[in-house]
Amino acid sequence: MTARRFGWTLLILVSCAGGLPLPERTRHARESYLAVPYPPPAGLAETVPPEPEREGAVWVDGEWAYQGNTYVWQRGGWVYPPPGARYAPWRALYQKHGRLMLAPGTWYDEAGNPIPRPDVVMPARTPPNEVTAETQSGR
């Protein structure tokens, strides 16, 4: 391997090794799952803004939320998790008989009870494109 190729390989490996600080994770309570008639669209691409200067911020990805009879995009962003809180990211699953169930991203306290979402201190940006406007619903 040439020195130049080795340099590019090393650069790629180093740049892929880093990651965003994520909240402590947990599983959804069984009651969190709701029946939905169809799966959500593919997630929108989001641009991650710089991490806040105050320590302790974690990144939460954006997600599709089922509201009424359509999906609505909820942006991700940097948040400061409540003390002792854990996060269960959104999850879709099919039951054996074919029903689709969806659990939205939810924060839980130490006892496993759902708690309000922390405020987003620095939201993601959704790059504009010609295919999906950021205000477009999932239908």
Q: Is 77 exposed, middle or buried (0-12, 13-18, 19+ CB in 10 A)?
A: buried
- The string of pLDDT tens digits covering residues 6-65 is 344 433 433 444 689 999 999 998 889 999 999 999 988 899 999 999 999 999 999 999
Average pLDDT for residues 93-103, to the nearest whole number? 92
Residue scoring higher pLDDT (138 or 95): 95
More confident residue, 116 or 4: 116
Does 112 have pLDDT greater than 60?
yes
Whole-angstrom Cα distance, residue 105 to residue 64? Answer: 9
**pLDDT above 90 for 68:** no
Res 69: pLDDT: 87
The pLDDT of 60-89, averaged and rounded, is 94
